[in-house]
Each structure stands twice: as structure tokens, then as C-alpha cells.
Amino acid sequence: MPDATTTVAQLRTRFAQFVKERDWERYHNPKDIAISMSIEAAELLELFQWRPDEKIDLHDPAFREALEDELADVFMYCLSLANAIGCELSDITLRKLAKDEAKYPADEWRGRAR
Ligand SMILES: [Mg+2]
């Protein structure tokens, strides 16, 4: 399903179903989801660990699939945390983006990464 036609709500509902069908709601509390999110982010980092930049091939099918799997794991825990704490992911993302835009005005920060 392309991002252009899939809503965040659809993904949240689908993940909530996945959790409910396995009777895992008791495990999907904010603390454990946050821990799991960090673990999955570490699994994503592990794919790059010790690999020189020139050896990172995003077109290698096996590497690409592993990378996408870990990205999806992190994202699913984002969806799960939003479900668990009851927030609107679109609202909080746009709110935080507005804070970052204010903190890093484009005119001042263009081309700088410090
Ligand atoms: Mg994983």
C-alpha cells in the first residue's frame, strides 16, 4: 500500500488488531513500548555497525529488506505508543515540526548541521 493512499489511522488500527489478536495489550504499555522502540532502533543501527560508507549499498536486496524491516519495527512501535497513550500522531508530529522550525530557522541554519 503506497503512503499516498494509506492513512496513519489505518496503520494504527491494523497494528492494534495485531496486538489484540495475540492478547498482547497488557505488554503494550508505554514503558515497554518505549523500550522496544529503542531496541528496534538499535537493531537498525546494527545493520550499519562497522560497515564503511562505501560498503553500504541501499540497492542490495538483502540489506535493503533488513533495513526496511527494522525501520518498520521502529515505526510499528511508534504507532503502538500512540495507541497506548492516546495521541494524534499527525498533530504531535506537526506540532514538534513547528517547534523545530522555530528553533532552527531555515535562513539561519541552511547548510549547517551543528
Ligand atoms: Mg527488529
Neighbours of 24 (CB within 10 A): 11
As a whole number, mean pLDDT of residues 21-39 equals 97
38-76 residue pLDDT tens: 999 999 999 999 999 999 999 999 999 999 999 999 999
DSSP string, 17-64: HHHHHTT-TTT--HHHHHHHHHHHHHHHHHTTTT--GGG--TT-HHHH
- State yes or no: pLDDT of 114 exceeds 80: no
CA end-to-end distance (rounded Å), the chain: 36
* Largest interatomic CA distance in the chain: 50
Centroid of ligand 1 to alpha carbon of 30 (angstroms): 18
Residues of the chain with pLDDT > 90, as a percent, come to 96
3-86: what CATH class? Answer: mainly alpha
Cα(71) to ligand 1 centroid in Å equals 8
Alpha carbons 4 and 7: distance in angstroms, whole number: 8
- pLDDT of 76 reads 97
CA of 18 to the centre of ligand 1 (A): 16
Work out the average pLDDT over 88-107. Answer: 97
Average model confidence (pLDDT) for the chain?
96
Look at residue 113 and tell me whether its pLDDT is greater than 90. no
pLDDT score for 95: 98
Cα of 44 from ligand 1 centre, angstroms: 7
* Residue 15 CA, ligand 1 centroid: distance in Å: 15
If you measure from the C-alpha of residue 92 to the centroid of ligand 1, how many angstroms do you get, rounded to a whole number? 25
- What's the 60 CA to ligand 1 centre distance in angstroms? 19
Residue 88 CA to residue 91 CA, distance in Å, equals: 5
